[in-house]
Chains A and B, each alone.
Chain A
Amino acid sequence: MIEHVPNEYGRFGDFGGKFVPETLMLPLEEIEAELDKALADESFKQEYIRILQHYSGRPTPLTFASNLTQRLGGAKIYLKREDLNHTGAHKINNAIGQALLAKRMGKKKLIAETGAGQHGVAAATVAAHFGMDCIVFMGEEDMKRQELNVFRMKLLGAEVVPVSSGNRTLKDATNEAIRYWVAHCDDHFYMIGSVVGPHPYPKMVREFQRVIGDEAKEQFLAREGKLPDVIVACVGGGSNAIGMFYPFLQDDVRLVGVEAAGKGIDTPHHAATITKGTKGVIHGAMTYLLQDEYGQILEPYSISAGLDYPGVGPEHAYLASIGRVCYESATDEEAIAAFQLLAQTEGIIPAIESAHAVAKAVELARRMPTDETVLICLSGRGDKDVQTMMRYLGAKEGEDIAAVR
Chain B
Amino acid sequence: MPLSVNPPLFIPFIVAGDPTPAVTIDLALALEEAGADILELGVPYSDPLADGPTIQRAAARALDGGMTLPKAIQLIGEMRKKGVNIPIILFTYYNPVLQLGEESFFALAQENGADGVLIPDLPFEESGPLRELSERFDIPLISLVAPTSKQRIERIASAAQGFLYCVSSLGVTGVRETLPETLGDFLREVKRHSRVPVAVGFGVSAPEQVAMLKEVCDGVVVGSALVQKVEQLAPRLQALDERGAAVAEFAAYARSLAAPLREPCSSR
Contacts and interface: CB of A to CB of B under 8 A. Distances in A.
A296 B63 CA distance: 9
Contact of B100 (A23, A185, A295): A295
Interface stretch (B45-53, B210-218, B221-229): B45-53
A25 B123 contact: yes
B146 A280 contact: no
B248 interface: no
B121 A294 contact: no
Contacts of A203: none
Interface of A: 9, 17-27, 165-166, 171, 175, 178-179, 182-186, 278-284, 291, 293-297
B46 A23 contact: no
A183 B170 contact: yes
A175 B149 contact: no
A26 B152 contact: yes
A22 B46 contact: no
B148 A25 contact: yes
Contact of B52 (A179, A185, A284, A291): A179
A279 B97 CA distance: 12
Contact of B167 (A23, A171, A186, A284): A23
Contacts of B120: 21-22
Contacts of B265: none
B47 A182 contact: no
Contact of B148 (A166, A178, A185): A185
A294 B52 CA distance: 22
Contacts of A184: 170
B69 interface: yes
Contacts of A295: 45, 69, 93, 95-100
Contacts of A20: 49, 121, 123
B59 to A, nearest CB: 10
B171 A291 contact: no
B144 interface: yes
B126 interface: yes
A280 B98 contact: yes
Interface of B: 45-52, 56, 63, 68-70, 93-100, 120-126, 144-150, 152, 156, 167, 170-172
A26 B149 contact: yes
A326 B51 CA distance: 37
Nearest to B63: A296
Given A280-B99, A281-B121, A294-B70, A22 B47 contact: no
24 contacts: A17-B126, A18-B125, A18-B126, A19-B126, A21-B172, A22-B156, A23-B170, A25-B125, A26-B148, A175-B47, A179-B51, A183-B170, A183-B171, A183-B172, A279-B98, A280-B98, A282-B47, A291-B95, A291-B99, A294-B96, A294-B99, A295-B93, A295-B97, A296-B96
B123 A22 contact: yes
A297 B47 contact: yes
Nearest to B51: A179
Contact of B49 (A9, A175, A296): A175
Contact of A284 (B68, B121, B147): B121
A23 B201 CA distance: 13
Contact of B146 (A18, A21, A278, A279): A21
Contacts of B170: 23, 182-186
A345 B134 CA distance: 62
A278 B152 CA distance: 32
Contacts of B145: 22
A284 B125 CA distance: 13
B265 to A, nearest CB: 28
